[in-house]
Amino acid sequence: MTQLDEIKFQNAESIKQCQSYLSALSNSELSTSMPAGWTVSSVLVHLIFWDQRALTLLEKWKKEGIEFSAIDTEVINEVTRPICLAVPPRTAVGLFFETAEKLNITIANLESAWVEEILEKGKNVILNRAIHRLKHLEEIKIVLNKH
């Protein structure tokens, strides 16, 4: 299995796990408080932001070539939290799956040589989105005490 095949598999599996768990949550559960002033649904919007950033950079790099894209993660997370909290819970769930699927398809269609170049030069765009998605899914499960 190539590195791209492994990334594609893990990304697809992360969506399946998220769908299985998140689709069953009530509005009340989606509105449950999380650490640092977040809610379950706002964490999904946080994931949307980072997946959309990856999509945007992949599209930009196709036109302009791959370059490292500097970002202050802590500041971005703090700046976007109020916006993430403003998105209605069901909208957050729908947009999360829509954005994640679009990114999964984009990554799945990358050429292997380009993946290698991204891994080398675009180090702060992680193509294996499952890592970030499943990390937050586990945090959500802990807060909701539902495994």
Q: Please give the chain's pLDDT, 147 residues, in tens.
A: 788 899 999 999 999 999 999 999 999 999 999 999 999 999 999 999 999 999 999 999 999 988 888 889 999 999 999 999 999 999 999 999 999 999 999 999 998 888 888 888 877 789 999 999 999 999 999 999 975
Relative orientation angle of helices 89-108 and 40-64, to the nearest 10 degrees: 30
Comparing CA positions, the residue from 69, 72, 54, 55 lying closest to residue 122 is 69
List the CATH number of the domain containing 51: 1.20.120.450
Tokens of 53: 């950033």
pTM: 0.94
Tokens of 82: 């109020």
Q: Tell me the residue range of the domain where 34 lies.
A: 3-144
Tokens of 97: 């799956």
pLDDT recorded at residue 2: 87
Give me the long-range contacts of 28-34 (CB less than 8 A, separation at least 24): 29/144, 30/89, 30/90, 30/92, 30/93, 31/89, 32/143, 32/144, 33/143, 34/139, 34/140, 34/143
Tokens of 96: 């999360």
Number of domains in the chain: 1
* Buried b or exposed e, range 63-81, using 16+ CB within 10 angstroms: eeebeeeeeeeeeeeeebb
For residues 132 and 47, is the Cβ–Cβ distance under 8 A? yes
Tokens of 132: 């970030």
